[in-house]
Structure 1
Amino acid sequence: MAKKLEGERVLITQQARAYADQQYMKEEERFGQVLSWAVRGELIRQNIDQIDQYLSEIVKMKDTERVVLIGDDGQLLVSTDKRLEETKGVELFPKEILNLQKVTVKSDVDGKKILVVPVMGLNKKIATVVVSYKQPNF
């Protein structure tokens, strides 16, 4: 009986963790979608300073390490890590990440969790925002 109860407890714990992870991913995707709309509006108006302010506020959030905006041509447009200002965006992330066409959470990219947010114009992608987070400890 004790083994059966322990097995059920483990199963319920796994299900709860999977459900929580699924809900977290949905929230990250919603956040990314709203961020892409805000960044798109400012990019269209060529208001890079406002985007820099947005990203500077995001990097202050818990466990956020760095936020970058990379143009569709691979150029780094904005970075919250000022040491990267001379770096090309394609040197920071592989092309398969920068070519993503929908908001995506990747769990292990160079030991970090990242949120990839494509910024879409009217008929093509114009930039990508990448938010890097510390990996949670288990």
Structure 2
Amino acid sequence: MDTKNNEPDENNDQNNHNEKPNEEVVKEDNSTNKFLDFVKKNIIAVLLALILITVLIWYSVKMNTNEKQYEKEKTELVIKSENERSALITKYESEKDSLQIKNLESSSKIFSWSVRSELLRNNTENLNQLLNAFVKESGADLVQLIDPKTNIITLSSDKKFEGAEYAQKIDYGLTEQHTVVKEDGIKIITPVMGLNSALGILIVQMDK
């Protein structure tokens, strides 16, 4: 009698054991489906983010290569005159600044496409996430989005500026990217264009 009573319990244990992996598979499938749904809904933002990351990685590799070359040349000039060493340092700094500007210009342009996409969808939450990621990857000191109709800062990496009027003068008729290089830093001004007019003005600033 005892043997017969135990058999159903053993079968139940086996059934319960078999059900657990199925539940895990269902959870994994659900997670995969949610991820795929997110990618499908945000395909443009995802693609632009991938392009932006690729550009930033390329410029980072380029900067590292230039720096290694500079160190090599500097070592070779140790025994040479002070003027030659000074000329090498000046040349390196100039090339570094030029590459840094090109990096900011390219990444700002790509980022402006992402901003345009989210503005058209009125997706403020995604905009903030993209802004934080861009600041982290590009090394920019300040990124702001200005409303050309009101001159109000609608989005800023430094939140204390949001809602305030932009103090500096901007040409809101810009249709192409404009770069301002000063002794204290670089400013990239990029219009975020809609169909007929600018949706916003993106300002990316890097201090020296």
User: So what's the TM-score if we normalise by structure 2?
Assistant: 0.51
Matches within 5 A, 1:28-107: 28-61=104-137, 64-73=140-149, 74-89=151-166, 91=167, 93-96=168-171, 100-107=174-181
The aligned counterpart of 1:16 is 92
RMSD value, Cα: 2.7
**2:108 and 2:204 in contact (8 A); partners too:** no
Is contact 1:114–1:131 with CA below 8 Å preserved after alignment? yes
Unpaired runs of 5+ residues, structure 1, are none
Q: 1:23 to 1:55 in 2, by over 3 A?
A: same
Task: Classify 1:54/1:120 alpha carbon distance in 2 versus 1 (closer, same or farther; 3 Å).
Answer: same
Measured after TM superposition, the shift of residue 94 of structure 1 is 1.6
Q: Structure 1's 44 and 112: CA in aligned 2 closer, same or farther, altered over 3 A?
A: same
The structure that is helix-richer by fraction is 2
Distance 2:165 2:190 in 1: 18
Q: Show the counterpart of 1:118.
A: 191
Corresponding residue number in structure 2 for 1:5:
81
Deviation at 1:78, TM superposition (A): 1.4
Quote the Cα distance in structure 2 between the aligned partners of 1:62 and 1:30.
10
Displacement of 1:38 in angstroms is 0.7
Higher fraction of strand: 1
Distance 2:141 2:92 in 1: 28
Q: Aligned equivalents of 2:83 and 2:96: distance in 1?
A: 20
Contact 1:76 1:87 (C-alpha < 8 Å) held by counterparts:
yes
More relative contact order, 1 or 2 (CA 8 Å, 6+ apart): 1
Residues 180 and 187 of structure 2 are in contact (CA less than 8 Å); yes or no, is this contact kept in structure 1?
Answer: yes
Is the CA contact 2:107–2:138 (under 8 Å) kept in the aligned structure 1? no
Q: TM-score, normalised by structure 1?
A: 0.72
Equivalent residues, number:
128
Task: Kindly report structure 1 stretches of 4+ aligned residues shifted beyond 4 Å.
Answer: none
Which of residues 187, 200, 208 is equivalent to 1:127?
200
- Larger Rg, first or second structure (1 or 2): 2
